[in-house]
Amino acid sequence: MKYWTLFNIFTIFRLKNLIVYLRRFRNFHQISFKKYKILEMSIIIFTCIHWAACLEWYIPIITGKLNLMVTNESSWISSDLLKSRNTTLKKYIAGANRATIALIGGSHHLDVKSIDDILFNLFLTILGRIGIIYILAQFSGLMSTSYSTKKKNVKLLQQLTEYMRYKELPRHIQQRILTYFYFWSNKSVKKDKIITSNLSPNLREEVIMYNCRNLLEKVEFFKHIPSSILPQVVMYLKSEIYLANDVLVKAGTIGDALYYIITGTVGVYTASERKVCNLEDKSYFGEVSLVMENEKRLTSIIALEPTEVYVLKRHDFLKTISVYPNLVSRLQKLTIEKIDKSLLYETLHKSEGSTSININIYGDSAAEDTKEEPKL
């Protein structure tokens, strides 16, 4: 009976646990659905072959030890060919080879003589046919989903190309339009809009709040806003795409919005066009404009590559928090305190002969070549 304990090794390869761990791995590393399904199916196939390879060995051994069959001498594990396999790895490969042949329906090519071999390989053949149907169905659904999306994008691209040709747009404008289209068609925000538009209001609110959790955690303002109106604030966020060299904010203009970078890189420049720093993913700027009226931008923000941002307009923000009359004055006070603190540190640092200090009161900045703090 000790051979029954050999089946304990299968607990390592339980499909249920594997699927759970794979989903956690996908969520943690943000793997795309297509790559995840390919990885999942590959591991399931490997696990099934491993099970079958082990059973190719254990069933003849167990039936022989328990005397369930009249004789075990005709089993494949007693063949001269297998006896020449003198290492465990070679024997495992032989079992995996037989299992694979049986699963794909090629048992007639195997040397099958004993009753237990015949019954088990027949079972593997039936199981393999079911598995092949399941795998084909999974990949067919995956390919049809991918194809339908690509087909829709190709159709849009054809219409766009015809439109540009009809309007006789200059070559450089056509190139920028195509760059915008390729960037837009591959971004997650586009897919989010399609999905969330079909959800119920409550579920849509939960999804949007989760997607914007990084923004809510990073922007200091939002930590002082009552949680009851945060979903309304988030609902006013608009996604915008800027191409390389597009100006998001121009120095000297009146600020009227908060910008949060979803993906991409922007450069911060002074009014004299001197570069201050770069801002990358999950950085934000312009929140002072949400509460300070007629606040002029001191720097220009220019996209260095295709960049996608969330934009929250001042009038939308004020309309949302209007139910709390004292909230605006409190946020203004916090802003003034941060600006004063920044100026104080800068003055102290200059008095000590230091060249600069980087205290970002506008967000998490990925500053490259930083020489002064941008005040937006």
Q: How do residues 142-181 score in pLDDT, each as one tens digit?
A: 777 666 666 777 788 888 888 888 888 888 888 888 888 8
Question: Averaged over 324-345, what is the pLDDT?
Answer: 75
How much of the chain, in percent, has pLDDT values that exceed 70? 76
Chain center to CA of 360: 28
Mean pLDDT score across all residues of the chain: 77
Question: Averaged over 257-274, what is the pLDDT?
Answer: 89
N- to C-terminal Cα separation, the chain: 77
Does position 194 have pLDDT exceeding 70, yes or no?
Answer: no
Does position 219 have pLDDT exceeding 60, yes or no?
Answer: yes
Does position 297 have pLDDT exceeding 80, yes or no?
Answer: yes
pLDDT at 304: 92
Considering only residues 310 and 373, tell me which one the structure prediction assigns the higher pLDDT. Answer: 310
Q: How do residues 349-363 score in pLDDT, each as one tens digit?
A: 555 554 444 434 344
Strands 247-249 and 238-242: unpaired
Does position 332 have pLDDT exceeding 70, yes or no?
Answer: yes
The whole-angstrom separation of Cα 17 and Cα 24 is: 11
**pTM for this predicted structure:** 0.57
Considering only residues 38 and 370, tell me which one the structure prediction assigns the higher pLDDT. Answer: 38
pLDDT at 45: 86
Does position 364 have pLDDT exceeding 50, yes or no?
Answer: no
How distant, in Å, are the alpha carbons of 184, 201, 228 from that of 239? 11, 19, 23
Q: How do residues 40-81 score in pLDDT, each as one tens digit?
A: 888 888 888 888 888 888 787 777 777 655 445 667 777 766
- Minimum mean pLDDT range among 101-105, 148-152, 232-236, 301-305: 148-152
pLDDT at 303: 92
How distant, in Å, are the alpha carbons of 27, 253, 256, 288, 314 from that of 317? 32, 19, 10, 12, 5
DSSP 372: S
Does position 261 have pLDDT exceeding 80, yes or no?
Answer: yes
Is residue 110 exposed (0-12), middle (13-18) or buried (19+ Cβ within 10 Å)? middle
pLDDT at 68: 58
Contact 303/264 with Cβ under 8 angstroms? yes
Residues 6+ apart with CB under 8 A from 102: 52, 110, 121, 124, 125, 128
pLDDT at 365: 42
Q: How confident is the model at residue 202 (pLDDT cuts 50, 70, 90)?
A: confident
Considering only residues 6 and 128, tell me which one the structure prediction assigns the higher pLDDT. Answer: 128
pLDDT at 144: 73
Q: How do residues 50-59 score in pLDDT, each as one tens digit?
A: 888 888 887 8
Best-predicted range by mean pLDDT (28-37, 57-66, 90-99, 251-260): 251-260
The whole-angstrom separation of Cα 125 and Cα 264 is: 52
Q: How confident is the model at residue 17 (pLDDT cuts 50, 70, 90)?
A: confident
- Minimum mean pLDDT range among 13-22, 208-217, 232-241: 13-22
Considering only residues 359 and 83, tell me which one the structure prediction assigns the higher pLDDT. Answer: 83
The whole-angstrom separation of Cα 140 and Cα 37 is: 12
Considering only residues 197 and 202, tell me which one the structure prediction assigns the higher pLDDT. Answer: 202
Best-predicted range by mean pLDDT (60-69, 115-124, 237-246): 237-246
pLDDT at 107: 63
